[in-house]
Amino acid sequence: MLELRNITYEVDDNQENKEILKNVSVTIKDHFVAITGPNGGGKSTLAKMIAGIIRPTSGQILLDGEDITELDITERAKKGISFAFQQPVHFKGLTVKDMITIAAGREMSVGDICDILSEVGLCAREYIDREINSSLSGGELKRIEIAMIAARGTKLSIFDEPEAGIDLWSFSSLIKVFEKMRDEINGTILIISHQERILNIADRIIVIADGELRQVGSREEVLPQLLHTTSACQTLEEKL
């Protein structure tokens, strides 16, 4: 269970104090939680703060009751928090197989790795021995990053707009990846998304706007209201 208590985040923006998160308090304990809201509302800032990439100006973050506010990203990773970067970190010479094995933290058979790659829509045979470098497309790199987080299967896996930069065809398979992850991973999946299809599979939806927590509830409670405020010819994504 993750608890955010009175989280505030301020930055110095051209010598002016800018409050990006304003006194956000929320408890995240469901299995599949989505954070949504308008552009610039503070969602990515909140995700980076949970992962330990940035620290709050004030407030506390508790993981299973333990105060982790002062822990950095590595220490939080050891406690079971994974953050999916837009692309996997790459080291010269390391292949997809190597990186998935490292992420999983245990010996993986070729069959296990192939299963994970297939789940994210990659034809395992073609990718397993490829070095992770710029010869892979943005969409391929993103899927490998998602595969690595899935292999890790930690207490809390955070994804920041995994759909960004993914084409429509791949988007459908991405939804299946998250549905499968929801069914198979034990920990909490926290996903930032503007996509109705992702919000539709969430147990709980958190709405953040203008740096404030606007709403928290089940998808049955929150989604109709989000859709209601969206005009018939405007997609939820445009609205958000």
What is the contact surface with ligand ATP in residues (CB under 6 A)? 11, 13, 18, 20, 37, 39-45
Q: Which is nearer to ligand ATP, 18 or 125 (CB)?
A: 18
36 vs 101, which CB is nearer to ligand ATP?
A: 36
Closest by CA to 194, choosing from 154, 235, 135, 157, is: 235
Identify whether the C-beta of residue 35 lies closer than 8 Å to the C-beta of residue 191: yes
Q: How far is the CB of 172 from ligand ATP (least distance, A)?
A: 22
Nearest approach in angstroms of CB 237 to ligand ATP is: 10
CB of 97 to ligand ATP, least distance (A): 32
Burial class (CB in 10 A: 0-12, 13-18, 19+), 198: buried
Residue placing its CB nearer to ligand ATP in the complex, 43 or 76? 43
Q: Which residues are paired to 207 by β-bridges?
A: 36, 215
Measuring CA to CA, which residue among 176, 167, 220 is closest to residue 197? Answer: 176
C-beta of residue 120 within 8 angstroms of C-beta of residue 126: no
Q: How far is the CB of 37 from ligand ATP (least distance, A)?
A: 6
Contact 145, 100 (CB under 8 A): no
Q: How far is the CB of 43 from ligand ATP (least distance, A)?
A: 4
Cβ proximity to ligand ATP: between 203 and 210 the closer is 210
Q: Identify the residue whose tokens are 């994210």.
A: 120
Cβ distance to ligand ATP smaller for residue 11 or 110: 11
